[in-house]
Amino acid sequence: PRRAALELLWEMFGDEIRSMTHLKSLQAFAHEELHAIAVMLVKQLNAPRTSSVGRLFDAIASLLGICQQASFEGQAAMALEFLLDDKEIEEYYEFDLQGKIIDWAPVVTAILQDLERQIPSNKISAKFHNALVEIIIAVARRSGESQIVLTGGCFQNKYLTERAIQRLREEGFCPYWPQHIPPNDGGLAAG
């Protein structure tokens, strides 16, 4: 998770992240580790890009300081979901959707601002989850399709799945989601 956060911050802020030493993600690294990873990011060596929402969960969990190193896949995402104690929060972080590409910079910038203002982690987690749901709605609208399939490891997250289904239905879409096989890699064998 801490590396995902560092890569995300590097992509957004470049060398300016050196001044962000107050962030828990950066504090989780030894100075030598930060230097080595910075070199890797500058040279794009062993730092492949990913489209995985799971890495975004990792990064946000690291920024919030709730998971810096994961012992198993999904641990950081689970920790972020477990923060959700107020399911009535409707707020979400604004995002930028350019065609089919989501620019996470507005979401991450707003999270950093909320951290600076000492907004509780549970509220940040709720706003982050809600932003993901609103992104699903925005992409569904752009698709022009009425039937929307929700699948992938992030849909093991009960809050995200239930809220996405609810919002999709509210917006007139017909959502489908795995109910008999796992939505993550465990369902790959089923085709």
Dist. CA 134–CA 137, nearest whole Å: 5
140-168 pLDDT, tens digit each: 999 999 999 999 889 999 999 999 999 99
Q: What is the pTM of this model?
A: 0.89
**Spatial separation of the C-alpha atoms in residues 17 and 26, rounded to whole Å:** 9
Three-state DSSP string of 139-181: HHHHHCCCEEECCCHHHHCHHHHHHHHHHHHHCCCEEECCCCC
pLDDT tens for each residue of 115-140: 999 999 999 999 999 999 999 999 99
Q: Mean pLDDT throughout 32-41?
A: 81
